[in-house]
Amino acid sequence: MVCDRNETDLNINIPAVMLPQDAGASLESTIKNGVAVAVQLYSPDRPLVDTAEVFLWLMAVCTILCASYWSAWSAREASTEHEKLLKDAPEELLKMETSGSGVVDINTASALLFVVIASCFLILLYKRMSSWFVELLVILFCIGGVEGLQTCLVVLLSRWFKRAGESFIKVPFFGDVSYLTLAVSPFCIAFAVIWAVYRRISFAWIGQDILGIALIITVLQIVHVPNLKVGTVLLSCAFLYDHLLGFSFRWFHESVMIVVARVIKTGEDVPMLLKIPRMFDPWGGYSIIGFGDILLPGLLVAFSLRYDFLAKKKLRNGYFLWSMTAYGAGLLGTYLALTLMDGHGQPALLYIVPIMLGTLLMIGKRRGELKNLWTRGEPERACPHIQSTE
């Protein structure tokens, strides 16, 4: 059939059917084997809210909650030790400060650099997507997951096996390692290897989520935002990153973030996200959330709880409850937008960042503590050497 270029009175109807990837592969294999196939089509209704999204929301919130309390507890212990050394032995305090505490504070430059590197990496992943590259990401994820799971288990088990956690042995290339770490490490390595080998089976998402949550909690324990200024720069850059790459149709004719998350080009699965299978969706699939959507806001939530602990603020008078509520509301707004957009993927930071930063900046200004939050990042503390003359 030949159509004129300006022809408008055409009545061409070409049916199109969308199938899940596994159903399409099964259908193709059956046809290639010469088996007669009969297909009955129907269009079931999707539920407005799937239970998987509720559990994923709880998973993200609880991960930040646990990581924040661990970080704040460690900061309070360090502050108590700091004050004790300052009072009793100033020279020991100097040695401790020069030796380091194992915590990495982000500055403004590193926050900007992090977002630039993350953007370049995502575009590289989009452009050069291949099976070997995904395998490399799986290996890196397993290494990080083993370290995170080991750290979390050692801290948890040391409450019952304190002696094993405080007894050390020198190991080549690793230095002093506790007996508890040596006991836990084989289990963590075996867990990650088993997940990597069987990651394509239906329930492998459980192992991926366990490794991912342990990794996020450990990173939030090690990496700190020192003040609200750095947190604002980091989340503002992440907001732009999420907006530009989540809605990148103008430059790439598709969403880079969604393509990479779903790995459409290779059929593999990038592990840098938490996921739960949709339970009542007839189309199947997974509800997912990227590590960055938990990790980056979690840095600011953990900072707010550390500030509250050091300032001895109660829950209602502090900043943690507000920041945690803002994060939950922002993530809830993401799922609402996802429903309104008929399932089209939404950049979560696009909704989380404005609510979180707006809430903390507004409350800090209203309480007259914004300058201290913005620059110092910790409450004013009187020097114990200064005694009152009254």
Q: Which residue has the tokens 């799922």?
A: 335
* pLDDT tens-digit series, residues 356-376: 999 999 999 998 888 888 988
DSSP secondary structure letter of residue 171: E
Beta strand pairing status for 223-224 and 273-277? unpaired
Question: pTM for the whole thing?
Answer: 0.80
- Residue 383 in this model has a pLDDT that exceeds 70: no
Greater confidence (112 vs 148) lies with 148
Query: With the CA atoms of 255, 62, 226 and 149 taken in that order, what torsion angle do they form, in degrees rounded to the nearest 10?
Result: -90
Residue 278: C-alpha distances to residues 49, 62, 284, 358 (Å): 10, 20, 6, 33
Q: Which residues pair with 105 in a beta bridge?
A: 224
Amino acid identity, position 234: L
Beta strand pairing status for 223-224 and 175-178? unpaired
Amino acid identity, position 80: T
Beta strand pairing status for 286-290 and 273-277? antiparallel
Q: Which of 50, 269, 281, 293 is catalytic?
A: 293
- Residue 382 in this model has a pLDDT that exceeds 60: no
Structure tokens at 223: 């990496």
Q: Write down the pLDDT at residue 387.
A: 46
Q: Yes or no: say if 355 and 326 are a contact pair by the CB < 8 Å rule.
A: yes
Count of beta carbons in the 10 Å neighbourhood of residue 383: 9
* pLDDT tens-digit series, residues 60-78: 999 999 999 988 888 777 7
CA distance 213 to 191: 14
Candidates 263, 305, 271; CA nearest to 291 is: 271
Q: Which helix or strand (DSSP H or E) is residue 76 part of?
A: helix 51-88
Q: Catalytic site residue 293?
A: yes
CA distance 218 to 202: 27
Q: Write down the pLDDT at residue 149.
A: 93
Greater confidence (102 vs 111) lies with 111
What is the secondary structure of 116-142 as a DSSP string?
HHHHHHHHHHHHT--HHHHHHHHHHHH
> Torsions phi, psi of 274, nearest 5?
-100, 145
- E strands, the chain, where? 104-105, 168-171, 175-178, 223-224, 273-277, 286-290
Count of beta carbons in the 10 Å neighbourhood of residue 213: 23
Q: Write down how long the chain is.
A: 390
Q: Which of 50, 242, 281, 308 is catalytic?
A: 242
Mean pLDDT of the chain: 79
CA distance 220 to 300: 10
* pLDDT tens-digit series, residues 241-279: 777 665 554 555 555 556 665 554 445 667 888 989 888
Q: Catalytic site residue 308?
A: no
CA distance 108 to 233: 7
